[in-house]
Amino acid sequence: MKSNIFIKTCNITAAMILVFFLAVATVTTVIGEDKSMTAEELRKAAAAKAAALIKAPPGGKWKATAEEALEALKLSGDPEEGQEIYDVCAACHFPTGWGDPLGVFPQLAGQHTTVLIKQISDIRAKNRDNPTMYPFAMQIEGAQDIVDVCAYIQTRKMNPNPRIGPGGPSWILSNMRKEVWPISLDKIQQKVGNANFKKLKSLEEKEFKSKKEFQDALAKAIGAEELKKHEAVILENADWVNDLKIGKKLYEENCVRCHGDHGQGNWKQPVEVKEGQTAETDKTKMEPGYFPVIAGQTYLYLIRQFSWIQIGKRRNANPDMVKQIKNFTFRDMKSVVDYASRFKMQEGDWQEVGDKDEAGWDLGEEEEDDDTPAHLKD
């Protein structure tokens, strides 16, 4: 047995309490506003401001791929060891590995091992900012522990009923967007005053499919008189219009090549053809791919990551994706993510991963030992 004593003795309850402090601490930037601008102009200004704040520290790039990740890819994971390590992860990502419905903690179950390894190593190497998880990620002792915990995560089944997007017009009081988009609960708080705001908080994160239903709930919370005074500002900051038709079109045109036709991601890709080699030589070779499964992931988590990737806040993001979504508007983003949040994994997506009888890697017999990352072999 390897020593994960620190992790084992870590008090889960204490971790849970910490989680909520840290989760609050992760929400930071508040964006200024100029009344004369349209919402879209405000969004652009806010995104530019946020982008300007981001300094690219050394290693802040997509495939800075930490040594540790490369080492981990060669190793074979032990799910029993991994289960012990996962105890600490479970405090936030839940024992099921499903994360939480508000998308503060992502679902890990069902994610490609390559992606998990890359993200954990990036977080440990401070190549992806995650102040909430960082201290816990650092309790992992090294590459072997990373593959062990990933091997355990691989045994968890995905959430069969994840939280999807609203799929059309909806009204929601949510703080999720304030770091990126110039609409937020803070704005409402400033305008309606603390007493009203306290009452409104009872509606936070609840989605209303019709405006009327939302207005009735608002009136019930703060009274019809107060609502009349503040309705405009509340609606302006709660409007959430998604269009699945736009989402489908955008997904098909912009996302399929990397995330697959139903959000299944990709854990393998053809080896890049290098100077002096022919494509023919490399046709049979594959290397690990780091394209996440987005099917079945919580909508609000996807929205946050997507917007962080767009403005550069998620520093380890794929630069080609950043380029691809550069000109997406607020509605584009919400629509495409809403559409993608409805994908389900399909028969065949899973068996490929780690199944040695599967021809997925398409490697010649003699090359297999050298080139196939060990965790993908068993």
List 189, 269, 284, 318, residue binding ligand HEC (CB under 6 A): 318
Instruction: Name the minimum Å distance from CB 313 to ligand HEC.
Output: 9
Residues in contact with ligand HEC, counted by CB under 6 A, come to a total of 52
Local structure of 136: helix, strand or coil: helix
Instruction: Name the minimum Å distance from CB 349 to ligand HEC.
Output: 15
Instruction: Name the minimum Å distance from CB 356 to ligand HEC.
Output: 24
Using CB under 6 A, which residues numbered 126 to 155 contact ligand HEC? 130, 132-133, 136-137, 140, 149
Quote the DSSP letter at residue 266: E
176 binds ligand HEC (CB under 6 A): no
List 31, 60, 62, 98, residue binding ligand HEC (CB under 6 A): 62
Q: Which helix (H) or strand (E) holds 237?
A: helix 224-238
Give the residue from 171, 161, 167 showing the smallest Cα distance to 107. Answer: 161
- Lookup: tokens for 89: 């992860």
Half-sphere exposure of 109 (CA within 13 A, CB side): 20
294 binds ligand HEC (CB under 6 A): yes
The CA-based dihedral angle spanning residues 137, 142, 147, 152, taken in that order and rounded to the nearest 10 degrees? -50
CA 181, CA 313: separation in Å to the nearest integer? 13
Region for 103 from its dihedrals, namely left if φ exceeds 0, alpha if ψ lies in -120 to 50, beta otherwise: left
Q: Which stretch binds ligand HEC (CB under 6 A): 187-195, 204-212, 213-221, 321-329?
A: 321-329
Give the residue from 251, 231, 232, 235 showing the smallest Cα distance to 243. Answer: 251
Sign (positive or negative) of CA dihedral 288, 290, 291, 292? positive
Q: Which stretch binds ligand HEC (CB under 6 A): 82-90, 174-182, 196-204, 229-237?
A: 82-90
203 binds ligand HEC (CB under 6 A): no
Instruction: Name the minimum Å distance from CB 333 to ligand HEC.
Output: 8
CA 79, CA 153: separation in Å to the nearest integer? 8
Give the residue from 276, 281, 283, 269 showing the smallest Cα distance to 320. Answer: 269
Local structure of 27: helix, strand or coil: coil
- Lookup: tokens for 194: 């603390």
List 171, 181, 197, 290, residue binding ligand HEC (CB under 6 A): 290
Using CB under 6 A, which residues numbered 244 to 263 contact ligand HEC? 250, 254-255, 257-259
Q: Which stretch binds ligand HEC (CB under 6 A): 44-52, 156-164, 271-279, 301-309?
A: 301-309
343 binds ligand HEC (CB under 6 A): no
Of 196 and 316, the one with the shorter C-beta distance to ligand HEC is 316
Quote the DSSP letter at residue 139: T
Instruction: Name the minimum Å distance from CB 52 to ligand HEC.
Output: 20
CA 154, CA 157: separation in Å to the nearest integer? 8
324 binds ligand HEC (CB under 6 A): yes
Sign (positive or negative) of CA dihedral 66, 68, 74, 78? negative
Using CB under 6 A, which residues numbered 101 to 130 contact ligand HEC? 104-106, 108, 111, 116, 118-120, 130
Give the residues across from 286 on adjacent strands: 270
List 65, 66, 93, 166, residue binding ligand HEC (CB under 6 A): 93
Instruction: Name the minimum Å distance from CB 231 to ligand HEC.
Output: 32
Which residues 6+ apart lie within 8 Å of 268 measured at CB?
114, 286, 287, 288, 289, 360, 361, 376
330 binds ligand HEC (CB under 6 A): no
Q: Which stretch binds ligand HEC (CB under 6 A): 65-73, 163-171, 194-202, 300-308?
A: 300-308
Which amino acid appears at position 18 of this protein?
A: L
306 binds ligand HEC (CB under 6 A): yes
Please, are residues 113 and 128 in contact by the beta-carbon 8 Å criterion? no
Q: Which stretch binds ligand HEC (CB under 6 A): 28-36, 160-168, 314-322, 368-376?
A: 314-322
Which spans of this chain sit near ligand HEC (rule: CB under 6 A)?
A: 15, 19, 22, 62, 85, 88-89, 91-93, 104-106, 108, 111, 116, 118-120, 130, 132-133, 136-137, 140, 149, 250, 254-255, 257-259, 290-292, 294, 297, 302, 304-306, 309, 316-318, 320-321, 324-325, 336-337, 340
